[in-house]
Amino acid sequence: MADPSPPRRKAFDTSFFILLTIASAAAIAVAWREGPMRVIEIAAHYLGFLALLGPKILSGFFIAASIPVLVPREVMTRWVGQDSGNRGLLMASLAGALVPGGPMMIFPLAVGFRAAGATTAVLIAFVTAWSLLGINRTVIWEMSFLHIGFVLPRVLITLPFPFLAGWLGARMLK
């Protein structure tokens, strides 16, 4: 069966209401414990943080929108599309491990790959590789703070997981 296209997202979907409920409960708990002014202080602080993140998020969106325009769909489909099989999962795993950046880069990039023809299974491998094997984070952060005796086994143990997660995702979607 063909990999289903993701449904169009609504601004007020189930995820939004779950997050709204959790955030509201947290705000009520802070207001009860620390007073309503503390809730206002927290909100003001994070609105400022959002203003700092805004340009980065918009840049990620632009990258995501550019991928389908710059990379021909036939190329994307050949490498990471429906018929790419294990090669597509390996390519996505490698790309996820090598692409630097945080969530503001990776998730819009994944959306752009999807729009250009990548399958859900490939996106699972890509995001899982970024989460577990991101070379940027591993070299700069882990190797700086943790002993190689921890970093190397952690990387080796998690190495097959992006491919495996994508492969399982492909099986679940059939």
User: Do residues 80 and 92 touch, judged by C-beta distance below 8 A?
Assistant: yes
What gap in Å lies between CA 36 and CA 40, rounded to an integer?
7
pLDDT in tens, 16-50: 899 999 999 999 999 999 999 999 999 999 999 88
Q: pLDDT tens across 44-92, in order?
A: 999 998 898 888 888 878 887 888 788 777 887 777 778 888 999 999 9
Look at residue 104 in the predicted model and tell me its pLDDT. Answer: 81
pLDDT score of 1:
45
3-state class percentages of the chain: helix first, strand second, coil last, to nearest 5: 80, 0, 20
Residue 2 has pLDDT above 70, yes or no: no
104: Cα within 13 Å, side-chain hemisphere: 10
Q: So what's the pLDDT on residue 71? A: 78
**What is the length of the chain?**
174
Residue 20 contacts residue 13 (beta carbons within 8 Å):
no
6-13 average pLDDT score: 71
For 159, phi and psi rounded to 5 degrees?
A: -50, -45
Tokens 């495996």, located at residue: 164
Residue-wise pLDDT for 101-144, tens only, equals 888 888 888 888 888 888 999 999 999 999 999 998 898 889 98
Chain segment 151-162, per-residue pLDDT in tens: 999 999 999 999
Q: What is the pLDDT of residue 92?
A: 94
Q: Is 10 exposed, middle or buried (0-12, 13-18, 19+ CB in 10 A)?
A: exposed
